[in-house]
Amino acid sequence: MPLSGICGADHATAAMLRGNWYEIDLDAIRHNYRQLRGQLPRHVKVYACLKRNAYGCGAGPVACALAKEDVDGFAVASVLDAVAIRQEGVSHPLLLYPGALPVAAPTIQSLDLTVSVSSVDELEQWRATITRPRIFIKVDLGFFRAGATPFEACKLLARAAGFADVQVEGIYAHMSELPTTHTSNAKEQLDRMHAILREASVLGLRPAVVMMSSTEGVLNHPEMDFDAVDPGALFFGLPDSDRPTRPVMLRPALKTISASLVSVKRLDASLGPVPGIFGVNPGMTLGVIGMGWGDGFPRDVPRGAVGLIRGKRARLLPPAHLEHIRIDLTDVPDARFGDEVVLLGRQGNQSITHEEVATLWGTDIVGLYAQLRDHIPRIYAAMQTTKEIPHE
């Protein structure tokens, strides 16, 4: 197969051999990047956040695709995602969010990664394990997660600046709000960042890169741009809000979830009485799909869940199994062993939307991407389409 030079090429073979796959549209991801870039002032750098294996879309191939655009760097939480990105030959600046441990220092050093530092203890442990560590100071502006408090931020900056071997490349925060917050405190978080930067400037310690905007910030708070932004969800077509201040037309990165029919049979009386399972009837044609709850599908098959086969919608039947799900093929008499079954996406003139799947699975669209499993092969479509399809 003439696949070399295409991002994620060998995944196609794995998809064929396994019989189920996710189809990822790398053009959509590049398009989404360009939509963002077009809205940002030129001096603002973009660090693409590709955590959780690029939201299930594959950190290596997604980084490879974005590297063909003028993206400035990447950020991930897992060293393994960083390894996948470097293995694609992508040499851009790569920031590790909190998640990496000193035991990974040799890998971090050899891959030339930048670590996040939220405390003096972290700073000392990285200094002890990495020669000339490159760091971003992480601050917590009111999200109550990792990061130094605003009170501690400049003390930490000063400690880091005191070490000649430490290169402080930037300071960043994850502007985000807890579900318990009733009114937005985005402004308070921005005020806290400004206060830290004022103090840092007085001390001559303001790093070259200040960053605090993820998808929500970059779409709705241009005043938070500073020197760089690190959205993630946005690249996959997940806008986070309905009417963003910055109008972007995003396209979904996940085109299809596909599986194959691994068994077809007509039920007959020799099986004994039909068990009291929802939807299994005597005389029906029963199919089995080679994908189950071990592959990210909900364990309780939601009522109303369907698969597309030979261009028709066919009911999925509970319960799901680790590797298999039943499907009612009674109305698809020409269905055959090996047929493709689409669980999300389009087949013929039928389609199952992201919204439909997210609702059935009891989650939202980011939650749907988070359900994508790393062991399912991904096929990378890059069709150079120019048509703009807004994400509903």
- Can you give the binding site for ligand PLP, defined by CB under 6 A? 49, 51, 97, 174, 214-215, 230-234
Q: Residues with Cβ < 8 Å from 72, sequence gap 6 or more? A: 45, 46, 47, 92, 93, 228
Q: Of the two residues 8 and 231, which places its CB atom closer to ligand PLP in the complex?
A: 231
- Please report how close the Cβ of residue 255 comes to ligand PLP at its closest, in angstroms: 20
Residue number with CB closer to ligand PLP (51 or 326): 51
CB of 162 to ligand PLP, least distance (A): 26
Closer residue to ligand PLP (CB): 51 or 134: 51
Nearer to ligand PLP, 19 or 142 (CB): 142
* Distinct helix (H) and strand (E) counts, the chain: 12, 17
100 or 233: whose CB is closer to ligand PLP? Answer: 233
Shortest approach of ligand PLP to residue 244 CB, angstroms? Answer: 12
For residues 232 and 244, which CB has a smaller minimum distance to ligand PLP in the complex? 232
Q: Can the peptide bond before residue 282 be classed as cis, meaning omega within 30 degrees of 0?
A: no
How near is the Cβ of 28 to ligand PLP at its closest, in Å?
16
Question: Closest by alpha carbon to 330, among 383, 272, 266?
Answer: 266
Q: Which is nearer to ligand PLP, 97 or 380 (CB)?
A: 97
Amino acid found at 128: A
Least CB distance to ligand PLP at residue 97 (A): 5
Least Å distance, CB 49 to ligand PLP, is: 4
CB atoms within 10 A of CB 101: 11
Distances (CA, A) of 105 to 6, 326, 349: 31, 47, 52
Closest CB 344 distance from ligand PLP, rounded Å: 20
Cβ 376 to ligand PLP shortest distance, Å: 21
Q: Which residue has the tokens 């930037």?
A: 170
Q: Which amino acid makes up residue 43?
A: H
To ligand PLP, the closest distance from the beta carbon of 294 in angstroms equals 26
Toward ligand PLP, which CB reaches closer, 54 or 352?
A: 54
Which of 150/231 has CB closer to ligand PLP?
231
In the numeric block, which tokens belong to residue 3? 């696949």
Which parts of the chain fold into alpha helices (H)?
Answer: 11-18, 26-37, 51-55, 59-67, 79-87, 105-110, 120-129, 150-161, 186-202, 215-220, 354-360, 365-370
Give DSSP secondary structure letters for 169-226. EEEEE-----TT-SS--HHHHHHHHHHHHHHHHHTT---SEEEEE-HHHHHH-GGG-T
- Quick count: other Cβ atoms within 10 Å of Cβ 285? 17
Q: Strand pairing partners for 138?
A: 172
User: What is the rounded CA–CA span in Å between residue 173 and residue 140?
Assistant: 6
Contact status, residue 110 vs residue 84, Cβ threshold 8 Å: no
